[in-house]
Every structure is written in C-alpha cells, then in structure tokens.
C-alpha cells in the first residue's frame, strides 16, 4: 500500500527528467498511473464489503508513536476509488484541454503529487502521518491553483487557498497532539477504544475545536469558504479534481473518520449541525447572484459540502448513510459539470451564462453530459441524485428537537441547488445559438468522453443502486461506527412525506429556473453588500495587520545593523534585568576565588585601553586594529585558564576578521566622524548597562553550586565509548555529532551561496 501511495510522488519526480515525453502526443500515457491505482484499490472491494480490514504498518519514529500505518476500510476505500477514478478521467481530459501547453509536464507532476498526498491522507491510520499528507495536499493544491503564474489573480488565489488551508493544518496538528496525549496513542484504530475517556477529558472541547477548524478551513465551511470561489482561477482540470471530488472533501473525510472517536457528544453534533446548515443555505443563495459558470459551481460546491457537514452533525445511522451516498452523488455530477464548463470555456472562450445559448447544436455529446448531470444534481429519478436527496430528507425528518427548521433549510437549499444545476448544465445548451458562436466546433473525444462517463454513471447507479449499496456504501457507514442492518438503497419507497418533499423540490426548483434568470442586475445587487461578506471582513483585518507589521518592520528592521544590535540589547537588558531584580542575591564568597596575577591585570589593562581607543579614534582602520587587540587579549585569557583549543579558534577567527575588515575598509576614507556625541552617549549607556547585566549574571552563576554529573560522564566515557583523549573534541564529534554535522552543513550552504554571488554576472538591466 505504501508503494501505491508513493507511485504518485515517483511520477512527479520523473517529470523534470521525462517531462518532454508527456508534453506531446503521448500525454495521455500519464493517465495510466491513476488507472493502475484504481484497479489496485478496486480489487479490495469484495474483501472490504465482507467486513475485513486491510492494514499495513511501517515503522517510522516508534519512540514517539509515529508510524506509517495505513488502514483500508469502507470509508478510505470509497475515497481512494474517487481519487483514482476521477483522477484517471481528469488526466485524460487534461491531455486535450492543455494540449501544446509549455508546462503540461509540470501540470501532470503537480496532479500526481496531489493524488498521492490525498491517498496518503485517506489511508493513514496515524494522526501525525495524516497531518503530513494533509499539508502536502495544501502545498500541491497551491501549485495547481497558481499554475497560471503569470496571472496576478491566479497567484493571489493560490496564496489565499494556501493561507486558509495551511492555517487549518496547524489546528489539525495541535488537535492530533492533544488527542494522542489524552487517548494514549496516535493510531486512530486504537483511539476508538478510548472514545469515552476522550469525551470525559477536560481537553475534549479543545480537541473538538481544533478538529473543527481544520475541517472547516479545508472543506470551505462558513466563514472560511471564500478561498474556494477564488481558486476557480485555476485551469478546469484543477477545479474538477480538487474542488469537487477530492481536496475539499478532505475535511469531510476527517469529520467522518473521527466521528466514532469524538462524535458521541452534544457539542460535536450541534456544532456540525449549525455550521453545516448555515453554510449550505448561505452558499445556495449565493448561486443566484453569479453569472460565471465556475462561480455558480463554486458556491454550489460549498453548499454541498455544508449539506455533508449537516448530515454528519445529525449523527444517526440514516444521516451517515445519506452522507455516504451524497459523496458519490456530488462527485459524479459536480465533476461532470466542471468538465462541461471547461469544454464550453475552451471552445467559446466564455463562461458568461447570460451569453451562452444553443450550444447543443454544435456540441451535442457535451450537452447530453450536462443535462444528465443537471438532473442528477436536481434529484430527478432515476438518477442516483434522487436517492441521495430522499435519504437526506428522511434523516432530517428524524432530527430530534426542531426538525421543521432543519427541513425548511434543507428544502430551500435543495431547490436553489436544482436551480444552479440547471443553469450550469442545461441553460448554455438551450435556446438559439448566438451569431458570435456560429463557428464553435465540437471538441475531440478526449474532452467530452470523461464527463459523459461520469454523467452516465449517475444514471446507471440510480437504476442499479445495488452496484454500490453492499460493496461500497454500507462499509462506509460501518467504518463510522454504525450498522445499517437490513436497510438497502432503492428508487421507490412508496408514497410518503419524503416523496412529497422531493416532488416539491423538483417542481419549485424548475419553476424558479424558468422565472429567475441570471443577470448582471443580480450581480450588482450582491456587490452592494459585498463589504459585509466574510472575505471583505477578513481582508480588512488582514490590511490592518499588514499595516501594523509594516510599521513594526520599518521601525525595528530598517536595514541598519547597529539598530538591530541596539534593539536586541535593549530587550535583553530589560527582560534579564527584571528577572535579576526579583531573584538575584548579589552575594559571592570571594575567598573561594584564585588570586589575581600580574599578567592577568596587564592583559585586562590592554583590553581596556584598546576598547577606549576604539571608541574615541576617528580612523576606521585604527578602530579595527584596536578591536583585534581586544580579541588577541581574550586569546591570552583562554590560554591562562587551560583552554588552548578555544584560544586557537579565537585567534584564527579574530585574525581573519581583522584582515577582512581591513580589505573591505581599505579604499574608504581613512578618517571620518562616525557618529555624533548623542549617539556615542546612547551607545555608552547601553554598553555599560549590558556589561553590568553580564557581570551580575556571572556573579550569580559563580554563587550557584556546581553540578559535575555531566562533565564527569563525558570525562569517564570519552575514551571508553568514543576512543578519544580530547574530551571537547569527542563531545563535538561523537556525543553531539549530529549537531556539529548540521552546523557544518549550514556553513557549507552559506559558502556555496557566497561563491555563487561572487560568480554571478548580471546584465545591466537586471542590475538596475
């Protein structure tokens, strides 16, 4: 299973080497990667449907309980099949949609990386490894959304998506750490047995909030939804893959996966119920005020994600069954509508639904796919959308408390989503073809076959729901801790309240479609209240934060090294001085100190004279030379106290520093008034205060009892364990070898950077 996940990463890493092969007529060969993975996961359907689990574990950091544990059950299998199945069709579609694009190989590399990250996320049974894959999906989606990097809007949308989803990832990490600490393990399977203890923990609310924040940001729940419409600046294959079938459902997957662990409380269910209801209704209303096809689909996607959160919040067996079915429903019809929109944009160079008409005459296969997807989104029988809608109504009717409110909200949402589906899937193909579109041609099969397959799947699964009922849907509900019993999927359940709600949805939604047409007037109406939207409010908060940050940076990081040093010293004096004022004893037994020798007094006197000369000289070179005297005097102090290695290091570094300073300053004016008297007074006061703080610290250290356990350990084991007689060298090379190695690596990287800068030859235009 690890190899299956790594296959996408390996494919991506091959792009820089074999990318040219995938940019030409062989681009479609890349689709074999998701196809092979789809076949691999499909073979587990019989095993998983029988209730068996496929578990693979690989040791990674066992000391911290972090392993690469993968668990294939009903829930992870459903998502894996969607990721690879829809991924295969998107790869095929991309071969034609981006045919001849200069960076097609790069695009495939990003897609492969994203597919692998999503597979790792849904298959992970360890919270920490799940977090790593979670962040990889955010990073790879950043590359995909910003693929058209010459477009400022694409770059801005990519940064926005990364900021929101990456921000949520931090909450996931905190939640995972607390959950692992409370539950005693990072393994999700092991946490199932600790669900009651976790619910009774004082940290339960904190854990739940952290998981909510991660899921809500990833799955575009109100008020974090605004990044998803902006991400529609990406190419259509990205919108199809990331924002209808996979990435935006990562948050949904997280909630479904942790429902058996955290979902046994009123706080969990009520929060999801309320947030889901607000999101689905808010986004559904927004679809009325959009004329761009991608904009309509973006808000309808947000609404659909809200429905899924709403169903998970209900927490009942019927609600979880409805959520499982609706995941399949939404993936099929929304991916189809996105692909259809991409074809329309590709062939007509427009996504304006007020302009697009009559396209059935020039692209009939695309029109058929759009029509089938539209009726599936509307829940018209015999599509699988009808089953999903009935299950949603049935579970909502059973909600304890105020079912009338929830039924009203879900009914309004479904009616508006029907309207949005008809506008996106039917409206562009009906009516008279405009004169400007007379020359529009039917696209090649690589473009229209993938959406037609998905749309046909929505009809086929509606007529034969048994194809997914036992093999896929019921194992999903079982994985969430519920038992569906003898319940089965079927188109007909008799005349009941659910049926009449479905009929009302279709009738009212269809009437609304014919009565309320998208228009610029509605767009202008929404624009007038845009300042109240979460996006505008958060953008305003961001601007305030940016202004404060700019002021802070301009004040404390103004490009002057002396200002940086002064700022650091002031804060250190203030913090350390405050601590010493409350804790320092200022007492020391001078009788325990060794006698002061004449040569020590001489060396200190040399240092003081050199320091005074440095302060008052007007010559740069003289100041550098006198500072060199201070450094050499410190070398003598090290020699006096039996530290020849430190003395040699100090001598080498100090000598080299003096030489470099002299070379740099040699051609500058020799005499110069470096600062005025006010600056010197300020620097003098700061230096005296800093020296006083260091002196007090040294006295406090000398007054503390010395523990020799660590030094004794190194002295006793330097030769025995490391076979070295120089204890200091043994510590650096063996006991702290990793630390030393990293320091050497940093120096090597810095040296390479300096060498590259020295060799850099810029054009005159670049220099300016």
More confident residue, 702 or 269: 269
Q: What is the pLDDT of residue 486?
A: 67
Nearest partner of 9 among 172, 136, 166, 163, judged by Cα: 136
**Domain residue spans in the chain?**
265-518, 559-715, 716-768
More confident residue, 290 or 677: 290
Distance CA 535, CA 227 (A): 8
Confidence check: pLDDT of 288 > 70: yes
More confident residue, 705 or 5: 5
Q: What is the pLDDT of residue 202?
A: 92
pLDDT tens, 475-520?
Answer: 999 888 877 766 778 777 778 888 999 999 999 999 999 998 888 8
Nearest partner of 118 among 106, 136, 105, judged by Cα: 136
Q: What is the pLDDT of residue 296?
A: 92
Determine the angle formed by the axes of helices 403-425 and 364-378, rounding to 10 degrees.
180
Nearest partner of 92 among 461, 455, 452, 456, judged by Cα: 452
pLDDT tens, 541-576?
Answer: 878 988 898 888 887 777 777 788 888 888 888 888
* Average pLDDT of span 386-392: 92
Q: Are 428 and 357 in contact (CB under 8 A)?
A: yes
Per-residue pLDDT band at 245 (split at 50, 70, 90): low
* Average pLDDT of span 597-607: 88
266, with CB counted inside 10 A (0-12, 13-18, 19+), is exposed
Q: 108: which residues sit within 8 A by CB, 6+ positions away?
A: 11, 15, 19, 22, 27, 30, 91, 94
As its CATH architecture, domain 559-715 has Up-down Bundle (1.20)
Confidence check: pLDDT of 618 > 90: no
For CA atoms 368, 371, 373, 376, give the dihedral sign. Answer: negative
* Average pLDDT of span 691-712: 80
Q: What is the pLDDT of residue 40?
A: 94
* Average pLDDT of span 647-674: 78
Q: What is the pLDDT of residue 590?
A: 64
Per-residue pLDDT band at 452 (split at 50, 70, 90): very high
Confidence check: pLDDT of 616 > 90: no
Q: What is the pLDDT of residue 111?
A: 92
Per-residue pLDDT band at 204 (split at 50, 70, 90): very high
What's the distance, Cα to Cα, between the start and end of the chain in Å? 53
- 78 vs 24, 136, 339, 391, 474, CA distance in Å? 33, 21, 21, 19, 11
- 408 pairs with which residues across the strands? none
Least confident of 182-196, 216-230, 356-370, 514-528: 514-528
Neighbour-count burial for 495-518, b at 16+ CB within 10 Å, e otherwise: eeebeebbeebbebbbeebeeeeb
Q: What is the pLDDT of residue 578?
A: 85
CA max distance for the chain: 109
* Average pLDDT of span 372-400: 91
Q: What is the pLDDT of residue 671?
A: 60
pLDDT over 70 percentage in the chain: 96
Confidence check: pLDDT of 589 > 70: no
Residue 615, token pair as written in the block: 């302060």
State the chain's mean pLDDT as an integer.
Answer: 87
* Whether the bond into 283 is cis, omega within 30 of 0: no
Place of tokens 């994985």: 479
Q: What is the pLDDT of residue 762?
A: 59
Q: What is the pLDDT of residue 673?
A: 64
């Amino acid at each position: 299973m690890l190899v299956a996940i790594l296959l996408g990463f390996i494919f991506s890493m091959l792009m820089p080497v074999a990318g040219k092969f995938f940019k030409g007529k062989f681009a479609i060969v890349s689709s074999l990667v998701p196809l092979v993975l789809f076949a691999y996961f499909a073979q587990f359907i019989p095993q998983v449907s029988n209730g068996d689990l496929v578990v693979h574990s690989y040791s990674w950091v066992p000391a911290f309980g972090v392993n690469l544990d993968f668990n294939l059950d009903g829930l992870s299998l459903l998502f894996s099949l969607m990721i690879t199945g829809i991924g295969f069709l998107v790869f095929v579609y991309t071969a034609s949609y981006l045919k001849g694009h200069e960076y097609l190989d790069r695009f495939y590399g990003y897609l492969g990386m994203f597919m692998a990250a999503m597979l790792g996320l849904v298959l992970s049974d360890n919270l920490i490894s799940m977090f790593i894959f979670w962040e990889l999906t955010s990073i790879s989606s950043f590359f995909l959304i910003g693929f058209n990097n010459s477009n400022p809007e694409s770059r801005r949308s990519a940064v926005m998506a990364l900021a929101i989803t990456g921000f949520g990832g931090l909450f996931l990490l905190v939640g995972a750490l607390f959950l692992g600490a409370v539950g005693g393990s990072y393994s999700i399977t092991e946490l199932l047995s600790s669900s009651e203890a976790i619910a009774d923990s004082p940290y339960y609310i904190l854990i739940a909030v952290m998981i909510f924040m991660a899921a809500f940001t990833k799955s575009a729940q109100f008020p974090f939804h605004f990044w998803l419409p902006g991400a529609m600046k990406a190419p259509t294959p990205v919108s199809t893959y990331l924002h209808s079938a996979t990435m935006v459902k990562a948050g949904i997957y997280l909630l479904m996966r942790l429902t058996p662990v955290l979902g046994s409380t009123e706080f969990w269910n009520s929060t999801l119920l309320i947030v889901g209801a607000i999101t689905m209704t808010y986004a559904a209303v927004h679809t009325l005020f959009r004329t761009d096809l991608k904009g309509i689909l973006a808000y309808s996607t947000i609404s659909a994600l809200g429905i899924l959160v709403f169903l998970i919040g209900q927490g009942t067996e019927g609600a979880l069954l409805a959520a499982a079915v609706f995941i399949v429903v939404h993936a099929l019809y929304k991916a189809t509508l996105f692909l259809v929109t991409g074809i329309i944009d590709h062939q007509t160079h427009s996504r304006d639904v007020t302009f697009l008409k009559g396209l059935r005459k020039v692209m009939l296969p695309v029109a058929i796919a759009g029509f089938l997807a539209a009726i599936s989104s509307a829940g018209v029988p015999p599509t699988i959308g009808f089953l999903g809608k009935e299950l949603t109504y049935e579970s909502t009717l059973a909600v304890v408390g105020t079912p009338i409110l929830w039924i009203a909200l879900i009914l309004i949402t479904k009616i508006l989503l029907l309207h949005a589906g008809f506008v996106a899937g039917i409206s562009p193909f009906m009516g008279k073809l405009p004169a400007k579109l007379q020359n529009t041609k039917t696209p090649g099969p690589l473009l229209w076959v993938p959406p037609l397959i998905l749309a046909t799947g929505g009809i086929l699964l509606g007529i034969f729901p048994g194809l997914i009922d036992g093999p896929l849907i019921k194992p999903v509900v079982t994985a969430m801790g519920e038992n569906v019993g003898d319940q089965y999927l079927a188109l007909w359940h008799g005349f009941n309240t659910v049926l009449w709600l479905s009929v009302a949805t279709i009738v009212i939604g269809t009437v609304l479609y014919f009565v309320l047409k998208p228009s610029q007037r509605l767009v202008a109406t929404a624009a007038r209240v845009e300042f109240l939207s979460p996006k505008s409010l958060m953008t305003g908060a961001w601007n305030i934060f940016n202004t404060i940050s700019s002021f802070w940076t301009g004040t404390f990081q103004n490009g002057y090294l002396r200002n940086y040093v002064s700022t650091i010293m002031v804060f250190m004096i203030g913090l350390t001085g405050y601590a010493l004022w409350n804790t320092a004893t200022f007492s020391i037994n001078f009788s325990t100190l060794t006698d002061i020798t004449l040569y020590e007094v001489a060396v200190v006197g040399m240092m003081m004279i050199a320091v005074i000369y440095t302060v008052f000289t007007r010559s740069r070179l003289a100041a550098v030379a006198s500072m060199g005297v201070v450094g050499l005097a410190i070398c003598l102090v090290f020699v006096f106290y039996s530290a020849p290695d430190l003395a040699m290091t100090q001598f080498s570094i100090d000598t080299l520093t003096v030489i470099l300073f002299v070379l740099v300053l040699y051609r500058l004016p020799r005499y110069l008034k470096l600062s005025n008297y006010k600056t010197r007074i300020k620097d003098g006061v700061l230096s005296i205060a800093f020296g006083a703080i260091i002196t007090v610290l040294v006295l406090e250290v000398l007054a503390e009892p010395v523990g020799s356990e660590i030094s004794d350990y190194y002295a006793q084991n330097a030769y025995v364990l490391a076979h070295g007689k120089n204890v200091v060298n043994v510590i650096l090379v063996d006991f702290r070898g990793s630390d030393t190695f990293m320091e050497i690596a940093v120096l090597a990287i810095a040296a390479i950077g300096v060498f590259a800068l020295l060799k850099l030859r810029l054009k005159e235009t670049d220099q300016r």
